[in-house]
Amino acid sequence: MDGDRTNKARTICLHAYHDLSHVSPVVFLYLLKECYAYGTCKATKKFRALQQQVHVVLYNSPQPGPAVFVAHCLYVLPIFEAHSEGFSHLLISALCRFLKTGTSSEDLLESKYLSSQLFLLAVYGSIVHDEKVLVKMLKAFDVSLKDIGNAMTNEDLNSSNSSEPGRTFVEKFIFKLIESESYMTAVSLLEHFSIRQSGESFLIKIMQNKDYRAADKWATFMGKPMLCVLVQEYSERKLLKHAYNIIKKNSLQQEFPEIYHKCKESSLKKLAEKGCWDVAESKTNGNKQLLEYLVYLAMEAGYFEKVEEYCERYSLSGFVNVKEPDTSLLHSRYLQLNELVLEDIIWVDEVNGLRDATCHIEECKVVGIDCEWKPNYEKGSKPNKVSIMQIASEKVVFVFDLIKLFEDVPDVMDNCLARILQSPRVLKLGYNFQCDVRQLAQSYGRLECFKQYEMLLDVQNVFKEPRGGLSGLAEKILGAGLNKTRRNSNWEQRPLSQNQLEYAAMDAAVLIHIFRHVRSYSQPDTVAEGHTNMEWKSHIVSHMDNSMKIKKGKKSKKSDAGTDVGH
């Protein structure tokens, strides 16, 4: 019965919309409310669908004209309370689309007068409308200061009265908006009515209240001199990203060469810290000074093969001893592999090595697992296959070349990894392993080994560290973080560099050492209280079926830059 009632209501609504010549604004809005109430999709999608429907029905002879009809609807909408603001935006947006095809001059003139009156009533408080709705309405109906002045004196729209009364009224309203710190609305009105009296002091006031969107809009409206003031203000406040965006958007590089360069360097540094070296390199646009800065960042991070690569590719000289660096400083900053007392890192890319590794791991009680894949910087494109899987025991890390094993011996690989991942006798440690699980399933969907897991412990869930990831956790627990500069290197190149192998091994092996501290109650004071021996056990997932997670998984690992950049 509910389904029949829904279909009947929708049929009535659509039938009424078919001819609006005898439908009043109140009835129209009531039917719109019914359509919204019976809609089953999410709010945003529902809004777009209704906007499209209203746009279409405005062609169905609303009286006395489409623009006037919408203006009358805006008068009535406040009685619909909770729906008022949303429906106002919906109607105005639909009308803007409709007006692109044109309407009669009489319809436009009358709607201007009505919307001007509505603006006055809303400002006086006689009708309740959101400020953003008022601004959108004034723009949609192209209301001028003269139109508002005519509405104030009830003059004919063709009157030759000056715009002064309207200007005075609007400026008083804008002043109240500024007092209430509604800067974006104030700026939108100043821009719409081309009022340029306020100057630098107004911009400073907006900046002091940290409404940077309004500041950008105001300065853009005022022109180049104000944009220059804005860049200077951003620079003094150390908001280099904002300064850079304004400089680039408005071609102010010649006016602010030092600030622009400093902004570029800051951007490169952030990308380098995230390990997005390829993106950083592209951002230099071949500028030698920026490339040299990027080389220094790579040297500082200990990424010396990247230093050598840049120097060779761009013929950069003066960077000596890059192959034999002094790592004493780096040692004090990052956890070193020799501190984990590993005996070996074993590369596994053929069947005998795969079987030997599987037998060794099956004898372990606890192992650490991690994965790596080549970064993909094209937004929206399909992520690359997982390239390697690292599995660490107490003394050895096995690095499985998943791509080659899948090409050469897929059945053996499936069997061996299933014995490890689905063993109830081996506790598998991971960090944010759900991400790896999704990526593995997407990469090797036809294999059974990545569809089911037994005995998993995600270390992230035990500590719930909000910042710093695995490196931050290692620093808290073990006293030193991890060097993540190679996170986004090319994991599909063969052979991997020694530095890449050590990086990969570190991410898996460090999980074993962190787990030791969890198990032996040796958490430092920085770790949240209440973690007991039984608590970490409660986080073990004894069984996980991933067959449905392939469809449910929404995102791959992402860098802060918003692109799929691997692990």
CATH of the domain at 504: 3.30.420.10
pLDDT at 128 over 50: yes
Q: Please, what is the Cα angle at 76 between 70 and 80, to 5 degrees?
A: 115
The CA distance from 446 to 443, in Å, is 9
Domain presence at residue 229: no
Same domain, 182 and 53: yes
Tens of pLDDT, residue by residue over 422-447, are 999 999 999 988 888 889 999 998 89
Domain presence at residue 228: no
Q: Which two tokens stand for residue 4?
A: 């029949």
How large is the average pLDDT for residues 12-26? Answer: 74
How large is the average pLDDT for residues 161-182? Answer: 89
Same domain, 79 and 34: yes
Same domain, 11 and 100: yes
Domain presence at residue 227: no
Same domain, 198 and 286: no
The CA distance from 49 to 469, in Å, is 41
Same domain, 319 and 345: no
Same domain, 358 and 278: no
Residue 12 binned pLDDT confidence (cut-offs 50, 70, 90): very low
Tens of pLDDT, residue by residue over 283-329, are 999 999 999 999 988 888 777 778 888 898 898 887 655 444 444 44
Compute CA distances 341 → 29, 146, 393, 412, whole Å.
73, 81, 11, 31
Mean pLDDT rounded to a whole number for the chain: 84
Domain presence at residue 39: yes
Whether the upstream peptide bond of residue 495 has omega within 30° of 0, thus cis, is yes
Domain presence at residue 416: yes
Same domain, 345 and 312: no
Place of tokens 């997670």: 549
pLDDT at 454 over 60: yes
389: which strand partners? 371, 400
Q: String of b and e for 91-121 (b: at least 16 CB within 10 Å)? A: bbbbbeebbeeebeeebbbbbbbbbbbbbbe
How large is the average pLDDT for residues 217-238? Answer: 94
Domain presence at residue 17: yes
Domain presence at residue 238: no
Q: Which of 199, 219, 239 is the last residue of a domain?
A: 219
Same domain, 321 and 342: no
Q: What is the pTM of this model?
A: 0.62
Q: Which of 301, 326, 351 is the last residue of a domain?
A: 326
Same domain, 80 and 192: yes
392: which strand partners? 368, 397
Same domain, 310 and 348: no
Domain presence at residue 366: yes
Nearest-Å Rg of the Cα atoms of the chain is 32
Number of domains present in the structure of the chain:
3
For 437: left if phi > 0, alpha if psi spans -120 to 50, otherwise beta; the answer is: alpha
Residue 259's pLDDT is: 92
Same domain, 374 and 504: yes
Residue 19 binned pLDDT confidence (cut-offs 50, 70, 90): confident
Tens of pLDDT, residue by residue over 321-364, are 544 444 444 444 678 888 888 899 999 999 999 999 999 999 99
Same domain, 39 and 100: yes
Q: Residue 434: which domain range?
A: 332-552
Tens of pLDDT, residue by residue over 504-556, are 999 999 999 999 887 764 444 444 444 444 467 778 887 777 654 433 333 34
